[in-house]
Every structure is written in structure tokens, then in C-alpha cells.
Chains A and B, each alone.
Chain A
Amino acid sequence: MHVVFGVSSLIMLISTVWMLEKDHNREWRRWQMKDRGKERWQHASRLAETSAQSHAALKGLKRQLAEASSSRIDHALIQQVKDFVQAEDARLAGQGAPPKSAEASLATIEKELADLEPLADEAAAAREAVTAAKKSAHDAVNTKLAAQKDPAQRDALPKLTQDSKSRLHELQQKVQQRDKAEQNAGRGRKQLLAAMNKIIGEAKRREDAFTVQKKFVAADHTARVSEHGIAVGEGLPAEQIDKIQVEIDSLAQKMTDLDDQVGNAKDYRVRVETVRREIEKGTTEIEKELAAVQAELNRIADNRDKNSWNVGEWLARRPILNALYDGNIRIEQTWLPDIKINYNFSEVPRYDRCITCHRSIDKTAPGSPVEPAFPALKDKQRQRVVELATPSKEPEIAVSDEGVVQVPTLESVYGLTIAGSGQIDHYAVTVQYVTAKSLAAAAGLQLGDIIREINGGRVYSNDDVEQYLLDNAHWGESLKLTIRRGLGSPYTSHPRLDLYVGSMSPHKKNDMGCTICHDGQGSATDFKWASHTPDNPKEADEWSKKHGWFDNHHWIFPMTPDRFIESNCLKCHHEVAELEPSERFPEPPAPKLVKGYHLIRQYGCFGCHDVNGYDGPTKRIGPDMRLEPNYHEVAAAVLRDNGLTDDERESAATLVHSPEVNSIRHELYQAIRRDAELAEAGNADGQPRLSAASHKLADLLKDVETPGRLRKAGPSLRYIASKVQYPWLYSWIRKPSDFRSSTRMPQFFGLHEHLEKHIKAFPDGQGNPAGLTELEYTRRFERIEILALARFLLNNSSKFDYLNPPAEVTTEPSPERGKWLFESRGCLACHSHREFPGIASTQGPNLSEVSAKFDSESGRRWLYSWIKQPHRYHPRTVMPDLYLNPIVETDPTGQPTGVVTDPVADLVAYLMGVPSDWKPHDVPAETLTADEKLALKDLAAEWLSASFPRKRAERYANEGIPAAQAANIKGDERMLVDLNDENRVAKQLDYVARRSISRYGCFGCHDVPGQEAAKPIGTALTEWGRKEPSKLAFENITKFLSTHGVDDVTEQLDEQAVNEHAGEDHASGAHAGNGHHGVDPLDYDDDTGYYLQALNGHHRQGFIWQKLRQPRSYDYQKTRNKRYDERLRMPLFPLDIEEREAVITFVLGLVNEAPAEKFVYLPDIRQEAIMQGRHVLHKYNCGGCHVLDMERWQFGIEPDWFEEPPIKPEFPFLHSEPSGEEIAKSLELDHRGLLNVTLHGMPVMSEETGQPNLVDEDGVPIEPDDDESEPFYEFTLYRNTVVAGYERKVGVQNLLIPAAHAGGGPKNGREFPANGGDLARYLFPRVIAQEHKTNPQAKGSEAWGWLPPPLIGEGKKVRTEWLHGFLMDPTAIRPAVVLRMPNFHMSSDEASALVNYFAAKDNADWPYEYSERRRDAYLTQLDQAHPEWMDNAMKILTDSNYCTKCHAVGDFFPKGAIKTQGPQLANVYQRLRPTYMRNWTASPSHILPYTGMPVNIPFDPNAPHLGGVNQALFPGTSVDQLDGLVDLLMNYDDYTARQTTIKSMVKESSPAEGGEQAAEAPEPRPDQSASDLPAPALR
């Protein structure tokens, strides 16, 4: 028993010790201690740097202080004190008080003053002696050193050595003497000041005594006053009251006297104090500065000490004891009660302990709220080589003030110091700090850089550095230093502290924690248990070796690897649009995710895969990407019904083009329902007019709760026969990229890489059950499928009425004109074309080859109709109506030449005239061969066997389904009822085509007739980011990859390549590595390797990657046991590697885990408007033409670079004054000693190339071969900005900005590109070239006015109602433009979204804006004050010198060149906001720097009437004139309405004859009587 007890207690003891040991050595402690070491190192370095910097300052200050406190004192000051004392004594004597109090002190002062003088002079002399001695010592030392190196002077050396020694000794003595002399003088000064303080103290005492006395008297006084009050109240006798009053009066007098005494004593004291301060002035200021320097040093030292060891802490850090003490070594965590995590069926608050190891995650660089203190650099960026220049000759030895010889050091020569140890690695040779403006600073060395090699030689210690840099340096030659910069994880800071973690960011550390964005096991404090996820296999390898990392399958939320980190933004940011770059975050917050979102929109993935953002009608769970209700398709299908009434037909036709009009839809639905009820009720109530198909469609017209918003990605196929021919269509379906490599239409057929090419196992239809290989079998059927699809689409096409050229056209189509139209009328904003390589938009298809597509009369006519009115063919197209109406040609002076051209015909002529090599190839004839017929039958049987037993299916396929059974047959099989020899092939084809369409889901992207009711065919992606990997069929995929290789195959998918590939097939195991799954991720590049690893680990990231690049490969070795129709059907999308990753990033973010409501991004009303607007902007590609946001240049610049801006007189309302804060901010220097500048606008473009102009310092373009001139950009501001202390206004001058030497943009900074405006920039040089043909003098910058305008400030400019109408139905505004705003047929909601967007962006009012200038009250008041106001303004408006020179006004149109004409002014009141109109008229270039519009009404504060135009036109000041003009233009409708009379046109009935009526004649109505009064000028 004892033994058992003994053993068990021993075991217990051992295990307890073991447990304690384990706990004590937990991993996180190690990380924290390292990080603490790093912190200590940082503080120590900063302390060293600051003390080095302040050393000189401290020394200087101390010297100054010593000098100041040993200097003479001005006699005049002392005389003043004497005068004050005497005056005070006299005053006191006058009052009979004892004077002479300050006698003794005065005597001391006098004595000390007399003594001080020689002492101070002595000190000054001693100082001069030191200066002289220092110089001679310096010379002697350097002479000696020179002699040491010169053998010729060897003899003189002993003497020189002796000399230098004695000189140094002498210097030291002089320094001692100086210090002593200064001390003596200082003592005298101190005594003098002490005597003075005595006087002051005396005065103060007197002052205080009087004050106390006064307090007593005041108390007495108060008591007496209240006594007096009581006496009066009690009605005491008058004499008693008077007595008290006398006392009160005497006390009041006493108080006044004492007040006077206090005042006098205080005055005296203050006067003396002032003198004392004057004497001390020199020293106090220096003392203050000294204290400030010292305080900063102490602060840093404290910080260092906090992170340093001491004995107590060392003890407390021992095992067990450490439980009692944590210091700053402890587990840190963020508790997030509202951000729950799903721990198997229960939602638990998160505890994120990541910051335990990532301690510097929120540290910002000194002086910046968002710049990371420890930037996380990629490995490649960390390794770098710098070039360190050496001094041109050997540095001299210096002698310090104290007479100490100073040998050159790294610091004195290079401004470089090396720390005693490294930050993380103790032995790393690390730069401690670099002095500003030193050689090391010029080389770009930084604090913390690890020096690894110098000139190729390895550096092991600090001594090595001195060896290379000082002892062995070749002066004048530079050295190459290989360094390693920055720190590795976990010592780094978050790279985007502006967005995350930081206190200024929207995702603060304590609110959000870490795992909501990063995933992983937040509670873990060990590397491996935190479920870190490597970003590539190399990292995985390294981690598992270093940290014991493993792929933990049991934690279902492993950390998101770097490449997909943006996925998690989707949890809260459901609209995605808010993740685009913005004013606040110009650096894109989630570029990959946003790219993925747009790719999915463009490729239409949502056509097959549901991405539902709602759980119920209002609850958002993620991004919503669903198809819109297909009302327009239903309406188009209903239109085919011949039974429709005229009203119904009209409703349906309207609905096709405007499906958003609910009232019409409801009407149509009700009408069809009524008819359907007739049918259901039988013949009793009458015959139904409409077909059963129409009745069925009616339900699709019902309202949908929270309808989807996205249009189908592809064009309508409803009228396809009017557009293309069979051979083209066949080729297209077979392989879209064959005709157009850039198409977004995916490839459904010919994806055969996974099929067996050798083993014959499939029936050939000729009775041979194993006559074909998988590949042959598949090809045989695919050919039939494609043929059937093409024929089906052509046969089921509706009739399309082509448009014909208008009659007024006088000329034949011209390809030359067409080419210029194609370039200039906006086509290139959305389409690309190989003849215009300078611009490549992907909104619409590339049109280089269309001549091959439309190579027929009908194709040509279709193209004509399409270009002219795209919505006629496809109501939901985003291709706009470009208003390509006939053009009446004019000569340069604007006169019609009589020629009328048809731009559409010209465009067709051009497009069809560009030759194409493309020909349909390998297209089977439309009529089938016998073999094909056999294959068709087999395919039909294959389809049928899904519904019928195999044998019967084969029979039905051949013979048709017996009519007797027809009633039971639903679906496509009905096509096969009643087959005979005539209709067999046609019916089989029809059946096969319908089945194929259903299977491949063509209707997901296209409007396919007859498929209006079809539902998306793909897997829903709403929660795909959390899909259980066990539900994904990985199965044979690694086998497939190991036998087929992992090369990206998108480029080599045509049949030929596949055939060639077939030969090498199983031999291609080149990449088959030794991994346990067949492929070793380490054999591949980081990206491929990552995905292979994910595939090996059965992670969804790997699954989707392979699915997107080889969608059918998951069928590898499975097709033999599947029916043909059961095979995988996902097509191949032409995505490149980066696009694929972007799409995956988005899909992985679909997790349906919206956190608590307060975390979901809830925009305010303006942000919401901006987001919704962005959706519409993207949809219609507004940025293809217009600049939506100007470029933003952010850079540092020398403080004296910008000159003062020119000052011009400006209207008072245009004047703006930057705030003191703005000015101060614009003058702040950063750590580089540069001003930080952010400009919005664009660089001046070359008129020849359209590229930013590189100019010399005079603004002259630099010739390409000139590499001497310093390059600059001229930058045109589009936003007033305070730069270097002055406000720079738009339209005044371009700023000259030093250019970066490579890659464009500013030096010392970066450019954020403009948002939109590609076409405007592309056309800029081209319209100038065009104009120069007729006018070589044309001003280039004005060309911006002929192009789509930048939409900067649009919200402040236009009225909301006008913009809404304009977007719905754009009208022509500016005659000078080369292209017109097209009509996108957008819905009213979309137009509103854009209106709100622009208003929200500019902080302008919406949805309404109030305009006082148009209100009656304003106008009446104006009219009373100035009856001629409007008439005078009309005089300016119509004067031939001003507005009408260029602008049309009403029925007046100016003559002359079209480029000189401005917008019609009669209706600007509808378009412009009044404030904008006033500001614009006052100074147009302040709004649009390029405008040619001059200042018409000049403002000059020194001129009579403040400048302005001729008083004969409008008497008044220039401000009045401008206001008058704006009032007139804003009320132009009202003003002109009064020029016509309606009264005379209206005939009132005349009273009937007879007195009775006359007697009954009603009273005149008030307005009638008013009309008899003189008409008011206004209203």
C-alpha cells in the first residue's frame, strides 16, 4: 500500500511539474518576449537618435544659458528699480508709514551690479580665449596626423606630438577657466536677483496685509448694511438708523482707501517684477527649451524601460510565480459579444486572441494616423541593394569644445549608427538610426535595416561594417550594401490601418476583432491551432517545418489565405459597390472582389446559378445577383397569340419595351386570366380567344416579392433568323471563341480533355455495342446537338421588320465617313475594333470580324436596323440609340451644302467593308446524312431513356410516341408524338434541341422563344462559400490531374490540339510528382501550387478552381456509367488566371453569415445614393465616355516649389478664403521634409498623342531623345485646393509638377487614375486633328468641349427634374460636340438613381431643389425695386457683342462655324441650378478650365460700377448686371410669355339681350377686376 501511495504521489508530482512546465513554455510567451524585445530595441534606437539630435541642441542651449547667466546687467534697468523704490518710499512717507524698507536690498543690488561688471567681462574674455585655443588645438592635431602619414615629416613628429598635446592641454585649461569665470559672474547675478526678490517679497507682504485688512472691513460693512436693513424694517427711530448709516459710510470710505493701498502696493510690485523678468529674459527662455528637450528624452526612455527587464520582473517571470504577475506579458484578447461564431449548433461570442502574438498590428508610424509602423513587405521587397556614396576625401579629425579629439566614426562620416543588437535576431547587424541629410540618408538606409553584405562581402558584426566603410573605403567611390528591410509576421502592423484595426478606421480592432474578416480559430494561442492558412505550398512547407503547422480539417473556419482575404468583405458589404475606391479611400479597398463581382455580372453566371441576397422579403443575407422577372419575354411570347384584342396587343407591345410599368402588366395579366377562366369553365360562358400557352404564361406576369435586378447577359434569340445564317450559327454554338476570341459566351461543346481516346466501349449505332471510344461517341452526339440547336433557333424565330434608309438622304453610303463616325460617335466607348488599337473597351463585343458574321443581304439589313434602333430588336439590350439621324452637311461657316448623309448606312458600309478571314468550317449540311440521322435517333433515344425504359425509349425515338399515349405525355416528349417518314427528322431535331436547351440552360443568358418559364439550371451559389467539402465530388480529380498534367488548357482547346494531345495522353505524366495524391504542389508556381494543395486537401477553393478551368474534368472515368444527359454540363468560360481567382474570391464570400445588424454596412442616405448610382453607371458604361472622377495625384514636394498664385479680382460671391487650419495643414512637412499635396484634375495632354505631356521647366514639351532636361507635368486642377499655404483655384493656372522618372505620375508620390472618360481621352487628339484640317489655328484645350463632358460637379450644376428627363430622353444641348448623349431606354428608377448619385456626390439637394429666383415673391419684389430690371437684362442678352455672338436664344440662331456655337439659352432655366448659372456666367473657367466662354461681365472693384458692361445696356454695378442676366435666364419662360397676349384671343360670350339677364349679371370676379389694372411687369 505504501509503495502504491508512494509511486502514485511521485507520478502526481511529476505530472504536476510537467504540467507547470508545459504551461510556462507555451508558444505565445516566446512571441511576446520577442516582440517586447523589438519594442525595446525600437525605443532604444529612437532614444539614441533623439539624444544624438538633441545632444548638439542641449549642448548649445547649456552654453547659451551659461553665457546668458554670466552676462552684464543693464544699468538703466537697475536705475528703474531704484526710481521705483524711491517713489514708493516717498509715497509711503507721505502717508506717514515707515519707509526705507528696501534700503538694504538696494545696497546689495548696487554692490553686486558693480561687482558683476568685471566678472562678466572676464567670462566673455575667457570664452574668446577658448575659441582661439580650440582652433589652434584643431590645427595642431591635424598637422600631427598629416605628419604621421607623411614619411618625410617623421623627424618633426615628436615635436608635433608634443605640440598638439600641449595645445589640447591648454584648451582644457582655458575651458576650466571659462567655466570658473562664468560661475563667478553667475553667482553675482544670482545675488543681485535675490536682493530684487526681497524687494518684491516686501511689496507683496504689504499688499497682502492690506488685502486682509480690507476683507475685515468689508465684513464689517456687510454686517452694518444688513443691520441697517433690519432697523428700517423694524421701524427703529430715524436717528438710530442715521447712526448706522454714518458707520456704513465710514466703513465704505475705509474700503476705498484700502483698495487704493492694495492697488498702489501691487503696482509697485508689478513694476519691479517686470524689471526682474527683463533681466532674466535671456535665461528663462533657454531654460524652457532645455526642459522641453529633456522631457522628450525622458518620455522615450520611460517607454524603453517599460519593455526592459529588471530584477523584480525577472523573479516574477519564474514558473508558478508568474501566475501572480503578468507585467505586459499576458494573453491579450478582444471579446466580441455581438459577433458570434457557430460552434456546432450554438452561436457563441468570439474571443479573438490573435493580438496576443500580433502585438504591433495597430501600431502606426510616428506622425501618421494610418501609415503602418512596421510595414508588412513581401519577401521580394524586403531584400534590396542600396548604393552608399563615400566622402570625396578622407574625413578630418575634429576637436570638441571640451578639448577632446574626435576620430571619424560611421556617424560623423555617413550619419549611420549600428545598434548593439538586432531587433528579433540578436546577432543581426542592424542600423540603429540614420541622421537626416547624411550620406546614409541619401542612400535610403533606414532604422532597422539589416546589413548583410557590403560590396559582396558578408557582414557578420558591427566591426565588419567599420572595416568596409571606414578603414578600407576608397574615398569618392560608392559602396553596394545588400540589406534586408522590415520585419516578418507577427511583428508587423496591418497594411491597411486606414481601413482596418486602426482607431481612425471603420473596422476598429475592439469592435470587430480579427476572425470575422480573417476566419481561423481566434481562441487559439498557438500557431498551429489558430488554423493559419498558407498562401502557397512553399509557405505551407516552411510553416510545417518551423511551427508544426498542419491542415486542420476539424476546424471548419480555417483562416482565409491572403489571396482570398477580400471574400469576407461580402458578409457585411452586400451591395459591393461601396467597396470601390472612393473619396475617403482612394486606394481600392477590395479590388479583387469587385473585379470578381463585375466579371460575374458580365459573364452572367447568375443566369444559371442563383445568388439570392434575401432570406424572406426584406432580410439581407448577402449580395443579391438574380435575374430580373422576365415580363418582357412573356409579353413578347404573348404577342405571338393571334387571339389578342387590340388593347391587349398594345399592352403587350408596351410591356416588351417597358416591363417596369406595373399598371399595364397588371391589366394584361387580368385580361389573360379572364380568358383562361373561360377556358377552365368549359364552353358554357363562351369561347376563349387565347391559346393555352398564353394562359400558362399569364402567371409569369404576377408581382414578384423583391424582384431580381439583373438583365440576362446575352442577346435575344427571338428574331435570330433575321440576323444570322445557319453556318455562322452552327460554328458559333460549337465554339464561340473560334469566331471571336474575346467573347464572353462560354464553350459548351468540344470539352473533351477528360474523355478516353483509346478504349472503345460505346455503341456506334450500327449494332456494334463497343465500336466507339468515349471521344468518338461524344463527338457524334455533340454534332447532332449543335445542328439541332441551330436549326431550332432559326425555325422558331419571329418575323422582324427591318428599317430602311430615310428618303431625304442624298448620297451613297461611304466607308470613309463610316470609319470616322465609328470612331467619333461613341461606338468605341463600348466596342473594340482592330483598326482602332488605341482604345479597347469590353462592354460590348469586338467588332473587327462582323463582316463575316453578317455576310448576307439580311445580315446587312439587320445590322442597319440594329445600329439605328437596337431596342427594336432586343428591348433589354444596354446598347443605346445613338440618334443616328440623317446629317445635313455644312460648310465651315455652318451653312448647309445641300448634301444629306445617312450615318447608319455609312457605319454599315464601314463595318462590312473591313475584310475578315474568318469562314465557317466543318459545318454539316442542314439536311442530315444517313449516318447523322442514325445518330439523331440514338440521341433522341438517349434523352427518352430518362423518362422511359431503355428499350421503349429506343422504339419511341424511331417510331414516335403512339398517339394513344399522347395525352399522358408532358414536356418536350410531346414533340415525338406521331412520327412519320416526312416529319421524323424534323421532329427528332426539334425534340433534341428542346432537351439540349433545357439541359444547357441557354435561357439563363438569352431570351429563347418558348422558354419563358424556365428556371435557372445550376447549383445555387448563395451559400457556396460554406458548402461542405464532403458534398463536393472530388473523386477522380487528382487522378485526372496526375495523368493529364496541370497546364492551363484554356488556350489550346480547339479540336486539333485535343487530337494532338490524344497521342501523348497517358504519357504526359511530366508533372506527376511524388505527392501522396499524385501531384505535388511544390512542383508548381505559387498560384497553381496553392490550388493543387487545396484540391489535395479537398477544400472548396481547389474544387472551384478546377471547375472553372476544366469544368468537365470531374467526369473523368465516370462517363461510362452515366447516361449522355447525366454528364456534367458546366461550360468553359474564357477567364484568364487572374479573372478566375477574382471570380473565386467572390463566390467564396457567399456564406450567408450576415452578422448582427449593427455590423452590416448601412450607408447613410448619400452613400446609399452613390452606391445605387454606381450600379446604373456600370450597367450602361457611363464611364466609357464620361470622366466620373478626375485623377488624383498625391505627392510630396519641396516646400518652396510652388510660387504664390496670381491674384485676380473676382466677384465677391466667388471669393473663398481657406481656413487657418487648412493653410496650416498645407504647410506641414512630413518626415521627408516635404509638403504633402493632393490634387484632383488631370495632366495637360498632348494635342498630338493624347498622352500626358512631359515638359521642361518652361512648359515646353521635351523631345523624346532629350534625356538631360528634368521632366515635369502640367496639371489642370478641377477642384480648388489649398497648396503650400495658398488656395489654387480651378481655371487660373496649371501647376508644374516634377514627374516621376518612370511610369508617369508625380515624383515622390502616386497617381490614382481617373474613373471613366476613356473615349473622351481617346478622341481628344483626333478631334483636334480633324478641326485643324479646316482651322489650323484651333485652340487644342477647347477640344474637351467637343467631347463628352466630365461629370464633375454635375449634381451642383443641373436641376434634378431636368436631368431625370434628359436621361430618359436626351436632347441635344451643345452644337459643337461631335457626338450626342445616346438614349439607353433606361427606366425612370434608373434615371432617378443617377440623378441622386450626382446630387449626393456633390452634396447638392435632391430629389427637389428650391429656387428662390423663380418664386413670385422674389420677382414681385424685384419688379417693385427695379421695374426695368428684366428689360435691361434682355438688352445684354440680345446685344450683338455678348451672348448672341455664340448662343441661340429662342428663335435666333447665330451664324458661323459650328464649333463657336453654345447651347440655346431660352431653356437653360430648365437645365441649370441658379447658383451654378450665376457662378458660371461670372467666371466660366473657374468651373471648366478648358471652356472657351469668356468673362462677359468683368468685375473690377476699382472701376466705376465695379466694372461690368456698358451702362447704356444695364445701369447698375457689375454685380447687378450679372444678377439681372441670371434672373432673366432663370425666368425666360415667364418673361417671354408676357410678350404675347392671350386675352385678345379669348372671346367671352356677350350678354344676352334683355334687362333680366343684365340684372342677374354676376359680380366681376376678382381676377377680372385685377386685369383692368395696369398690368404688372412680372406675373
Chain B
Amino acid sequence: MKAIPYFLLSAVIAVFLLAEVDCLLAVEWGSLSGRVVLDGEPPESQPINPTKDQFCMSIGPPNETLLVGKDGGLANVVIYIRVKRGQSLDIHPDYDVQLEQEVVLDNKGCRFVPHIALVRTGQPLVVRNSDPTGHNTNASLAKNGAFNVLIAASQSQNMTLSKAESLPLPVQCNVHPFMKGYMLVRDDPYMTVTDETGAFEITDIPAGTHEFQFWQERIGYLKDCKYDGGQLNRRGRVKLDIQDGEKLDLGEIEVPVSLIK
């Protein structure tokens, strides 16, 4: 009788030790891809009207709130995994190096580059101003607290963020109120933004069931959008089971134009 707990204990210890040596033994990985397309004729975008600074007026930054590429591909849709409060995901060791890499949020040509910055907690974030004029970066972060710093021309400021946000949150410039970008801060690397064709891919996701969130700035949650064989819920979320080694492709996720605000 007494031998069994002993055995169990040593087994558990062994598992932990092995896990320390190489996570791959315990966790398996898959990936998710797809393409977000706009179903219907996109509404005409009001051009950005730079109202300050000769520099900005001469450049005329584009309106990036709704970018529709060829075949209706919808760019700048953010896709990420929702994690319940207090839980976290296993992270593929290939991503470890990411934590050393800087994320640059640049003020360039009187717009934020990238338009939507994806940042992991603990990852170095550089807020840079590549323009010859002063910009301030006013980020309305919730869990991390808001910050609003002035970055003089050709200067930058370094920071790290420590808490995950549950949404992409706006980043603005009060000197140039026509500038607006977004920032998503997560604990894990499983987040992405669709490219100009609307395509996206998240790789090395730990196998298992996850809830994926789809969001776009003009639309908010991609409410009830359909894809081949499924549908997002009213909050633009869908639970997907990803098997080991599986490359799950959702195909085209159709967004009706009526969702655009």
C-alpha cells in the first residue's frame, strides 16, 4: 500500500525534471491560418485631413482604418488567443528569442508604424519618432495604465509593459489629432494581424482547445462572421481544437460590410 504513493511521487518528480530538460516531451504544437475577406463593397474612406504641421500636411498620411486588398482581403484584423484570468499558455521555445527583440512603435510620416503594434509583456518596446517634428504618444492602456509621453524629433523612449491587455487599445497623438494606431499587449506570442491580402497565420500553438478572438478597429469584434464550416460568436470569438502537428486552415472568414461603423 505504502509503495504506491512513493511511486506516484517519483513519477511526478520525474515528469517535472524531464519537462525542465525539454518541454517538447510534454507539449505538442499546431498552427492556425486563414484569410479575412470583406463581403461587399467597402464604404469610401474619408481621407485623413492633417490639420497641423506643414510637414504632416505635405505628406498627407493615408487613412488606415479600413484597408481592403485584392479580392476583398481585409488587412489589420487582429487575431489572438483569449486566456482565462489566472491561466497561461505553454510557449514554444522558438519564441524565447522574441523576448529579446525590440518592438518599435514609430511615429513616421505622421502616422503610427506599425499601425497595430503587437507587444509581449516583458518585451522591449521602443517608442520612436522618426519625423522631423515633435510627436506625443498617448496610449490608453488599461491594465498597464495609460501613458502619454512627448518624443522630440528623432528621439525615442524605451519601456517594457508588464501586464496583458484584453483588447487592442488606441494609441494617439494629441499634437496631431488625426494620428491613431493600436497596440495589443499579451503574455504570449499567439497574436497576429492580417496582411494586405487579409491572410494570417499563427504558428506553434500548443495543441488543445483555444478560444480565438477576431477584432478590427472600425468593426470591433467580428460579430457572427462565417467561415467554411463554422461561425464566430457574437463577440467575434471561436473555440478551436488544434491537434499536434495540425495546420488548421479556417479558409475565408467573411465579414459583411454592414458591420463597419
Contacts and interface: CB of A to CB of B under 8 A. Distances in A.
Interface of A is mostly: loop
Given A1339-B174, A1460-B174, A1259 B138 contact: no
A1259 B221 CA distance: 13
Contact of A1441 (B143, B148, B150, B162): B150
Contacts of A1441: 133-134, 150, 152-153
A1338 B176 CA distance: 10
Given A1293-B143, A1442-B152, A1460-B52, A1258 B166 contact: yes
Interface stretch (A413-421, A826-834, A1469-1477, A1493-1501): A1493-1501
A1294 B52 contact: no
B69 interface: no
B175 interface: yes
Interface of B is mostly: loop
Interface in B94-150: 133-134, 136-138, 140-150
Interface in A1432-1485: 1439-1442, 1445-1446, 1455-1457, 1459-1460, 1484-1485
B92 interface: no
A676 B210 CA distance: 99
A1334 interface: yes
Interface stretch (B13-21, B25-33, B177-185, B198-206): B177-185
A1457 B162 CA distance: 36
Contact of A1485 (B49, B57, B137, B146): B146
A1293 B172 contact: no
B51 A1442 contact: no
Nearest to A1507: B157
Given A1208-B147, A1494-B150, A1498-B149, A1259 B142 contact: yes
Interface centre among A1203, A1258, A1509 (most CB of B within 10 A): A1258
B166 A1440 contact: no
A1293 B53 CA distance: 31
A9 interface: no
A1285 interface: no
A1495 B53 CA distance: 20
A245 B65 CA distance: 103
Given A1206-B144, A1495-B150, A1335 B177 contact: yes
A1208 B141 CA distance: 13
Contact of A1509 (B49, B140, B152): B152
Contact of B166 (A894, A1259, A1442, A1460): A1259
B52 A1206 contact: no
A1278 B153 CA distance: 33
Contact of A1457 (B51, B145, B166, B179): B51
A892 B49 contact: yes
A1260 interface: yes
A892 B180 CA distance: 18
A942 B52 CA distance: 77
B132 to A, nearest CB: 9
A894 B48 CA distance: 16
A1339 B177 contact: yes
B169 to A, nearest CB: 9
A1292 B51 contact: no
A1336 B49 CA distance: 9
B247 interface: no
B163 to A, nearest CB: 7
Contacts of B155: 1510
Contact of B152 (A1208, A1259, A1510): A1510
Given A893-B52, A1441-B134, A1459 B177 contact: yes
A1457 B52 contact: yes
Contacts of A1341: 140
A1293 B174 contact: no
Contact of B174 (A893, A1294, A1342): A1342
Given A1206-B143, A1258-B167, A1456 B48 contact: no
A1205 interface: yes
Contacts of B157: 1498
Given A1260-B221, A1460-B177, A1293 B167 contact: no
A1334 to B, nearest CB: 7
A1065 B160 CA distance: 84
B175 A1446 contact: yes
A511 B184 CA distance: 62
A1492 interface: yes
B88 interface: no
A1203 B143 contact: yes
B42 interface: no
B244 to A, nearest CB: 30
Contacts of B163: 1203, 1206
A1485 B148 contact: yes
Nearest to B137: A1494
Contact of A1260 (B52, B148, B167, B170): B167
A1293 B142 contact: yes
A1208 B163 CA distance: 13
A310 interface: no
A1291 interface: yes
A1266 interface: yes
A1213 to B, nearest CB: 19
Interface string B71-87: 00000000000000000
A1337 interface: yes
B172 A1456 contact: no
A1445 B175 contact: yes
A1065 to B, nearest CB: 64
Contacts of A1291: 146
B167 A1494 contact: no
B209 interface: no
B234 interface: yes
Contacts of A1203: 143, 163
A1337 B144 contact: no
Nearest to B52: A1456
A538 B172 CA distance: 65
Interface string B19-58: 0000000000000000000000000001011011100010
Nearest to B85: A1257
B220 interface: yes
A1206 B152 contact: no
B150 A1206 contact: no
A1293 B146 contact: yes
Contacts of A1293: 141-146
Interface string A1501-1521: 000000001100000000000
B146 A1292 contact: yes
A1248 to B, nearest CB: 10
Contacts of B166: 1257-1259
A196 to B, nearest CB: 37
Nearest to A1446: B175
A1342 B52 CA distance: 17
A1546 to B, nearest CB: 42
B174 A1492 contact: yes
Contacts of B138: 1339, 1492, 1494
A1266 B234 contact: yes
9 contacts: A1206-B162, A1259-B142, A1293-B141, A1339-B180, A1442-B152, A1445-B175, A1456-B53, A1485-B146, A1494-B148
Give the 9 A-B CB pairs with smallest separation, nearest first.
Answer: A1456-B52, A1492-B174, A1441-B134, A1494-B136, A1457-B51, A1441-B152, A1206-B145, A1258-B166, A1494-B150
Given A1495-B149, A1498-B149, 9 more contacts: A1206-B145, A1258-B166, A1293-B145, A1334-B49, A1335-B49, A1441-B152, A1457-B177, A1484-B148, A1492-B138
Interface of A: 892-894, 1203, 1205-1206, 1208, 1257-1260, 1263, 1266, 1291-1294, 1334-1339, 1341-1342, 1439-1442, 1445-1446, 1455-1457, 1459-1460, 1484-1485, 1492-1496, 1498, 1509-1510
Interface of B: 46, 48-49, 51-53, 57, 65, 133-134, 136-138, 140-150, 152-153, 155, 157, 162-163, 166-167, 170, 172, 174-180, 220-221, 234-235
